């Protein structure tokens, strides 16, 4: 199965300039292709990915307005058009009901201040010792926190809103065998306590209150500052770093918790929570979103696929689990 391994990279000032140019070119190609599709009259056939690549890359390079597209590698530009095709496929499959999960909206234009990315396939990158070499950009210093399990098929260079750069490799791995400690376990997710386990144990989540207070303070400060000013940009960067720190703490906690659940139990039982509906409660929305229930479920399901003889079961949200004894099965009714 294919998984992603992500590492921090440290580009030089010259490489930062080249990456920013590449991100801008990928964004322009994506937006140009989306604009062409959006301008097609209703009832007429849309251009294919190959036709779009010819229009927004090959022919665009010959014009005075887009001749600077030739300064960067063509590989990530082609992948940017492929991404648009995948976005449309997800949209139509979601609308027809073939795609499970939340409804996927119509593709939107990419913005400059959002997270930026550019994907290279095997023809556009290579590993030279401990460094990553990208076409027309040179070699990058990589912080190898763990070795790659196999030869990567592609790498995506990402710049987050806090200005950090990462390389995300797609690699192929095999399933692993781990002996479970228990046949099954039930997990009841909560707000004050992240999870109550059927074994009687509790899983406490990290405290986000201090970081949340600082984040809200900087959000108020950002709202008062003048758009386009240097002070506002400085505040925006500090706010992005605070949000990134909170997200990293939550991600680390969820990874460790879900890994332990899947490795120690043959079957993990979760409740099908209507998180989107629960976020409509303005008094609990922040606390619910901080816990990351949906992410925890996704991680459990993904990790169960990597380990042999593991299963994640989802029970109905209307199942009266808190009214039934887990030992004898007696139902005593609603809890006051």
Same domain, 155 and 91: yes
Please give the pLDDT value at position 335.
57
Asked if 186 and 326 count as a contact pair (C-beta separation under 8 A), the reply is yes
Q: How does pLDDT run across 174-207, given as a tens digit for each residue? A: 888 999 999 999 998 888 899 989 888 999 999 8
For residues 92 and 225, membership in a common domain is answered with no
323, part of any domain:
no
The per-residue DSSP string of 31-56 comes to: HHHHHHHHTSPTTSPPPPHHHHHIII
Does residue 246 lie within any of the structural domains?
A: yes
Contacts of 52 (CB under 8 A, 6+ apart): 33, 36, 37, 81, 84, 85
Task: State how far the Cα of 98 lies from the Cα of 252, in Å rounded to an integer.
Answer: 32
| 218, 246 contact by CB (below 8 A) | no
What's the alpha-carbon Rg for the chain, to the nearest Å?
A: 24
Tell me the C-alpha distance between 97 and 11, whole Å: 43
Residues 48-62, mean pLDDT to the nearest whole number = 94
Spatial separation of the C-alpha atoms in residues 247 and 257, rounded to whole Å? 15
What is the reported pLDDT for 29? Answer: 97
Average pLDDT, the chain: 92
| pTM exceeds cut of 0.75 | yes
The pLDDT tens digits for 269-317 are 998 888 888 888 888 888 889 999 999 999 999 999 999 989 999 988 7
Residue 191: what pLDDT? 87
Q: Do 30 and 85 contact (CB within 8 A), yes or no? A: no
The answer to whether 156 touches 118, Cβ cutoff 8 Å, is: yes
Number of structural domains, the chain?
A: 2
pLDDT attached to residue 326: 66
Confidence band for 330, pLDDT divided at 50, 70 and 90: confident
Report the b/e string of 61-97 with b at 16+ CB within 10 A: eeeeebeebeebbbbbbbbbbebbbebbebbeebeee
Does 326 reside within a domain? no
Provide the 3-class DSSP secondary structure of residue 240.
Answer: helix
Domain identity same for 187 and 229: yes
Same domain, residue pair 197 and 120: no
Look up residue 176 and give its DSSP letter. B
Together in a domain, 151 and 16: yes
Q: Note the pLDDT of residue 194.
A: 92
Pairing of strands 131-134, 138-143: antiparallel
Does the residue 333 lie in any domain? Answer: no
Contact 29, 36 (CB under 8 A): no
Closest by alpha carbon to 85, among 50, 126, 39?
50
Q: Any long-range contacts for 198-201 (C-beta under 8 Å, 24+ apart)?
A: 198/269, 198/326
Residue 199 belongs to domain spanning: 182-315
In this structure, of 169-173, 229-233, 271-275, the range with the lowest mean pLDDT score is: 271-275
- Give the angle subtended at the CA of 136 by the CAs of 131 and 137, to the nearest 5°: 45
Structure tokens given for 207: 């405290």
Q: DSSP class of residue 57? A: I
């Amino acid at each position: 199965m294919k998984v992603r391994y992500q590492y921090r990279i440290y580009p030089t000032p010259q490489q930062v300039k080249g990456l920013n140019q590449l991100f801008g070119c990928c964004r322009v190609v994506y937006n140009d292709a989306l604009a062409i599709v959006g301008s097609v009259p209703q009832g007429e056939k849309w251009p294919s990915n190959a036709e779009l690549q010819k229009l927004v890359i090959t022919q665009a390079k010959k014009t005075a307005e887009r001749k600077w597209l030739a300064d960067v590698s063509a590989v990530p530009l082609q992948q940017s058009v492929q991404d648009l095709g995948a976005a449309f496929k997800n949209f139509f499959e979601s609308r027809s009901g073939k795609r499970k999960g939340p409804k996927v909206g119509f593709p939107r234009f990419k913005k400059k201040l959002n997270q930026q990315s550019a994907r290279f396939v095997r023809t556009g990158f290579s590993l030279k010792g401990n460094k990553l070499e990208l076409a027309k950009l040179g070699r990058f210093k990589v912080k190898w926190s763990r070795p790659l399990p196999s030869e990567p098929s592609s790498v995506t260079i990402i710049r987050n809103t806090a200005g950090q750069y990462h390389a995300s490799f797609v690699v192929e791995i095999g399933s692993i065998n781990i002996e479970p400690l228990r046949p099954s376990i039930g997990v009841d997710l909560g707000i004050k306590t992240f999870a109550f386990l059927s074994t009687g144990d509790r899983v406490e989540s990290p405290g986000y209150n201090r970081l949340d207070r600082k984040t809200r303070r900087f959000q108020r400060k950002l709202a008062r500052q003048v758009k386009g000013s240097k002070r506002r940009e400085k505040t925006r960067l500090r706010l992005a770093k605070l949000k990134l720190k909170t997200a990293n703490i939550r991600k680390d906690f969820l990874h460790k918790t879900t890994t332990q659940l899947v490795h120690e139990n043959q079957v993990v039982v979760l409740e099908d929570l209507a998180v989107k509906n629960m976020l409509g409660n303005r008094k609990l929305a922040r606390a619910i979103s901080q816990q990351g229930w949906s992410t925890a479920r996704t991680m459990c399901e993904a990790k169960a696929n990597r380990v042999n003889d593991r299963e994640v079961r989802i029970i109905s949200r209307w199942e009266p689990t808190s009214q039934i004894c887990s030992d004898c099965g007696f139902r005593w009714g609603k809890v006051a």
